[in-house]
Every structure is written in structure tokens, then in C-alpha cells.
Structure 1
Amino acid sequence: MIRITRIVSAIAGTLLLAASAAAAPIEIKLGHVGEPGSLFDQTSQEFAKRANAKLGDKAHVTVYGSSQLGGDTELLKKLKLGTVDLALPSTVMTTVAPEFGVFEMPYLVKDRDHAAKIRDAVITPVLVPIAKEKGYEIIGVWENGIRHVTNNTRPVNKPEDLKGIKLRVPQGVWRVRMFQAYGATPSPMALSEVFVALQTGVMDGQENPLAQIYPSRFQEVQKYLSMTGHVYTPAYVTAGRSWSKLPPDVQKTLAETAVEMQPVALEIAGKLDDELLGKLKEAGMQVNEVDKAAFIEASKPVYEEFAKEVPGGQKLVDDSLALGKGS
């Protein structure tokens, strides 16, 4: 009798644990490379807050920043494996499909209004399906930012001022080619490795949006900030293998919230630019404007190569530029 009672108790306990496990919300892991306070951090946290309020007990978005789940390249691999559910790749998407290189073209995007138009007319109808064919589901387009150059050698006013400067760039062929055209010596490197590379002199400089420069504390190891504004980089809210395994209502909530966040991301980015420039100056960085006409002239070979090498590349450039006319 005692044995039967124990068996019944054990079965009841097992059923209780199973019921508890079944009721546990699905964890949605969102990984990114941004440091606390960065644009990636702020937009991801706001997305998680909004999505979790809608998801209730069904699922829960947990944000892992500061490259905790890996750098951009590793995050793309983990999306494919299904060990990370969402990520915020940016430049690295050119390694998925060359068409994403359109956003590597210098001075293509005039401002954030122009960026929003390109998002709706080029990214969503053209690039999103291309990514899907490669196994990636882009559910929203946010921002990485407008990129500027920092270094420890000299102020950069014209492309020739970059000659010989060892410059860290993100993964992606076109950023390398761009800075080679300007005379620099660019090297791709994970963002998590950049601070030490600058601190030790392995790299002389780097290029990033202000919303990555300040939270990454590059002002502690860099003297000059040159406002080149050479590239505007979107961030793609991207899912992978695990997406199809999520319940349809969870997918719908995540996708709708990612799109809802698109104008919010642009707004946060604009505020951060204004706020962080002042903080970088206060931290002692020497800030200068640049001769953008000289940079645009030096960028022509990059556009020519992109049009030749990427199928439909010229049309992507032309369509994107046309959306900026009159804006």
C-alpha cells in the first residue's frame, strides 16, 4: 500500500512538473553587439518591453547585448542554427547577400527621412526576400547610425589624411574597399575587440556611429573625431531557423512590434546623435568637420565596382538615390 502511494505521488509530481514546464513562457533570445546605452541597447530594450507586454505568458524576449552571444558573424551562424532567435546584424549582411552592399555606398543616404523611404521602397520589397532565400527572416529595419572616423594620428579633413592609418572596419567587403580608396589601411574586426586594439596601438582608428563610439568608450583611447558621415547603416531585426517553430501568434506579435519600433528607432538615434556629440567633446575629443565633396569624389570608384560586381547593383543605387531627391 505504501509502495502504491509512493508511485501515485511520483506520478502526480511528474505531471505537475510537466504542466509547469508546459506553462513556462518561450524564451526569445535577442543578441546584439552594442554596449549598455548604445542605440542597439536602447532600441532592443524598448522592443522587448513592448513585445513582452503583448506576449503575456506565451513568450518572453530577453536581450543579450555587449556581444554576450557572439559578434555579428557568430550571431548570423547562431540564427541559422536556431540557438539565437533574433539578432541585429548591420554591415555583416553583405556577407549574406551582396545586394545589401548598397548601404555600403558612401554618401548614399541624405538623412533619416531618406533612410525611411529607402527602407519602405528598397529594403522591404527587394532585400528582405533575398535574405529569406538565404535562410534569414528580417522582421523590421531599425538603425545602426551615421558613421564617423576616429583616430589617434591626425584630424581627417580630406581622404588623403587617412593615408597609412590602420583603421578597424566591420565585416563586409565594401567598407574595406571604401577606405582603401581613401588611402587608409582597413582591417575587419569584431566590435568587442576594438577597444583593446585601439588602446594597444594595433589599430590607429575606427569608424562607427556616435551611438556606438561613446558607449564603447572609444573616447578614452582616441584623440580625434572627424565628422565624415560617410555611411548610414541600417540594422536588420533578423530571425533564423527557430522562427518557423514559434507559434503563429508569437511570430505575429514580434513582427508587428519590430515594425512599430521602426520610427521609434530613428527618433532615438537622432536624439542620441545630438546628446553624444556634446559628451564626446566634453571627454576631450578634438572634433572637426570634413570636406565632404572631396570624399564624395574619392568614392566614385566604389560605386563603379558595386555596379559591375553586384547583380542589379546599379538599379539599387539609382532607386535609392532617386528617393532622396527633393527630401
Structure 2
Amino acid sequence: MKTKLLAILAATTAIATTAQAEEVIFAHGANPGNPRYVAAEKWAEVFAECTGGNHSVNVAPSAMMGNDVEMLTSATAGVIQISANSQGAMSQIVPEIGLLGLPFLFEDLPAAWKVLDGEVGEMLDARAQDSGLKILGFWDNGIRNITHVSKNVSEPSDLAGMKIRTPPDQMTVDIFEALGAAPAPLAWSELPTALQSGVFDGQENPLTNIYSAKLHEITPYVTMTGHKYESTPVVAGLAWWSGLDEETQTCAIEATAEAGELQREMSQEGDQTLKPKMEEEGATFADANRDAYIEATASVYDKYAADFPELVAALKEAAGQ
């Protein structure tokens, strides 16, 4: 009897341990309503179904597991398994990924997706794996525009001395320094408070992020600069990834692709439909002098072409420049 009881206890412990090990934490920094938030929920649903219920997914949104840099660190350490992260944070680990944000590189979102889904994306994944991360795919973080607390910025000269928040991304800092602004990086989760307190005059983001975070209520002047693109790399800790069987890895890739289609569709739809909604809520829109902005940021290409000549040339060619 004692032997049988011990066997039952051992089996129960093993089941509990297995259940705990099979929980997947998917962390990101977006709030409800954001395409990234919706896609993460979709990812959890698709992955759990694909694995036959052998894995449960705990989605941790709204920077519950820290900012993007902290989430990447947690993924490499095995604290979390997956993060829908940011291009800026990833560029601190894989500098080449920052080149996707060269000013005015992509004409529109589909042009960017085509590049990411090809050889460029594969190269970035290989570099990420060297640093303990596996890129499962690229979701979208939009083509970005500038919001200001008190004016539109149609000309580059309108940015002179502007205190503007950027993500932790050297490319974005370089762009706004070239434009004569005073950029400073800050975590996304801290941005609304910083804008409300007057630390910054404005910020830059795609319309979907601006609207979902209600930033247009704080900085109601929106200038459609379209100055750069940013992706949302979906990354897994390489140690966790390497321990999965091939079938489960396939499920993760397929879940990323399926949820990514939804996320990209929402991002593109937001760019096309949010302007009238934001205007109804008090936002004032203006177009930018695109040619003037392109000329003012040409020096950014010179800087990065000196460090990554072949990749910058390849990206320009792939983007049709």
C-alpha cells in the first residue's frame, strides 16, 4: 500500500511539474485595443489549439513583465518564453535591425512586409540567435507620424528645439537630431505621464498606437510625416525554443504568421480609418513637406552606410529606391 501511495504521489508531482513547464508566457507592452494586444491573444489561441492543449499560454500585456528591453532580457534568461517586442529594443542586440527604420525607406506597409518576410528577415533571425533569441516572425509597428502639444510641424524647421520622445532606438534619435529637434528615448509605458507633465513637446508613432494610447488627447496636433517604419519582432528565448520538438516549433511559427496577418491588417486599417475618428475627438491634422524632410534626413543614410554599406544598399534596392 505504501509503495502504491508513493507511486501515486510521484506521478502527481511529475504531472504538476510538466504542467508548469508547459506554460508559455507571452509578454508585450501594448494595451487593450492595440493590434499587438489583439494579435497576442490570437497567438495564444492558435498555439494552444495547434499543440493539442499540451501547452497553455499566459499572455502578459501592458508591460506587466517590464519594458521591451527587460522583456528581451527575460526571454534570454527563460523567465518568459516569448515577447512581441520593438525594433528599437532589438536593435540594441542586433544593430542591423535598426536599419529597417532608415528615414523614408518604405513607401508603404506592404513594401516593408515584403522585405521582412524574405532574406532580410532570415538574416536578422540568424543574428538574433547569436544573442540567445529566436525571431519567430515580424509583426507591424507602423509608419510613424509626429504629434505635438501646440502646433503642426509641416516643415523640418518647425521641429527646431522640439523636445520629442523617441523609443530606445538610435536610428530614431539620429533622425530627429538631423531635423534639429531635441530627442530623448523613453519607455513606451512611461510616455503618457511624461507628455502630461510637460517633459516633452510631443512624440512620434503610427496612428494605431497614438489612438489606442489616447496620445492625441494630450498632443492633439498630428503631422503626417511618415518619416520611418518600425516592425514588431516576435521573439522567443533560444534556450526554450531549442528544447521544443519540431512539431511544437512549427506550431509557434504558424501561430506567429496567423496572428501576424490579423495584426498587420489591423495596423493598415488603422492608418486608413483612424484620422476621421481622431479629428472628431479634437485632433488637428496636417501633411508634411515630404521632400524637405527627405532632404533634411539624408545625412542619416550617410552615417549608416559607412557602418553597414552592403546592407544599406541591399535594403534600398529591396525597397525599390
- Partner of 2:223: helix, strand, or coil? strand
Cα distance in 2 for residues equivalent to 1:276 and 1:60: 34
Residue type of the partner of 2:223?
Answer: S
Cα distance in 1 for residues equivalent to 2:126 and 2:205: 28
- Partner of 1:316: helix, strand, or coil? helix
Q: 1:54 to 1:121 in 2, by over 3 A?
A: closer
Q: 1:315 to 1:218 in 2, by over 3 A?
A: same
Cα distance in 2 for residues equivalent to 1:305 and 1:223: 33
- Partner of 2:62: helix, strand, or coil? coil
Residues 119-144 of structure 1: CA distance to partner in whole angstroms, max 9, x if unpaired?
13343232111111111100111111
Which residue is 2:81 aligned to?
Answer: 85
How far is 1:293 from its partner?
0.7
> Is the 1:39–1:272 Cα contact (8 Å) retained in structure 2?
no
For structure 1, which segment, 232-241 or 16-25, has the greater mean C-alpha deviation from structure 2 after superposition? 16-25
How far is 1:23 from its partner?
5.9
Which residue is 1:290 aligned to?
Answer: 288
- Partner of 2:230: helix, strand, or coil? strand
Which residue is 1:171 aligned to?
Answer: 168
1:144-159 equivalent positions in 2, closer than 5 A: 144-159=141-156
Which residue is 2:127 aligned to?
Answer: 130
Normalised TM-score (structure 1)? 0.91
> Is the 1:150–1:207 Cα contact (8 Å) retained in structure 2?
yes
Residues 81-104 of structure 1: CA distance to partner in whole angstroms, max 9, x if unpaired?
110111122221110122112112
Which residue is 1:324 aligned to?
Answer: 319
Segments of 5+ residues of structure 1 without an aligned counterpart are none
Residues 163-201 of structure 1: CA distance to partner in whole angstroms, max 9, x if unpaired?
111111001211111101111110100000000000010
> Is the 2:150–2:219 Cα contact (8 Å) retained in structure 1?
no
Residue type of the partner of 1:139?
Answer: L
How far is 1:319 from its partner?
2.0
Which residue is 1:60 aligned to?
Answer: 56
- Partner of 1:24: helix, strand, or coil? helix
Alignment counterpart, residue 139 of structure 1, candidates 133, 136, 140: 136
> Is the 1:150–1:225 Cα contact (8 Å) retained in structure 2?
yes
Normalised TM-score (structure 2)? 0.92
Q: Stretches of 4+ moved more than 4 A in 1? A: 7-10
How far is 1:55 from its partner?
1.7
Is the radius of gyration larger for structure 1 or structure 2?
A: 1
Q: 1:19 to 1:130 in 2, by over 3 A?
A: closer
Alignment counterpart, residue 98 of structure 1, candidates 95, 98, 102: 95
> Is the 2:109–2:143 Cα contact (8 Å) retained in structure 1?
no
Question: Percent identity among equivalent residues?
Answer: 32
2:29 is equivalent to residue 38 of structure 1: no
Cα distance in 1 for residues equivalent to 2:282 and 2:251: 44
Cα distance in 2 for residues equivalent to 1:292 and 1:284: 24
- Partner of 2:118: helix, strand, or coil? helix
- Partner of 1:77: helix, strand, or coil? helix
Cα distance in 1 for residues equivalent to 2:142 and 2:110: 13
Segments of 5+ residues of structure 2 without an aligned counterpart are none
How far is 1:16 from its partner?
5.3
Cα distance in 2 for residues equivalent to 1:153 and 1:276: 20
Cα distance in 1 for residues equivalent to 2:301 and 2:197: 34
Residue type of the partner of 1:169?
Answer: T
- Partner of 1:149: helix, strand, or coil? strand
> Is the 2:69–2:89 Cα contact (8 Å) retained in structure 1?
yes
Which residue is 1:273 aligned to?
Answer: 271
Alignment counterpart, residue 104 of structure 2, candidates 97, 103, 107: 107
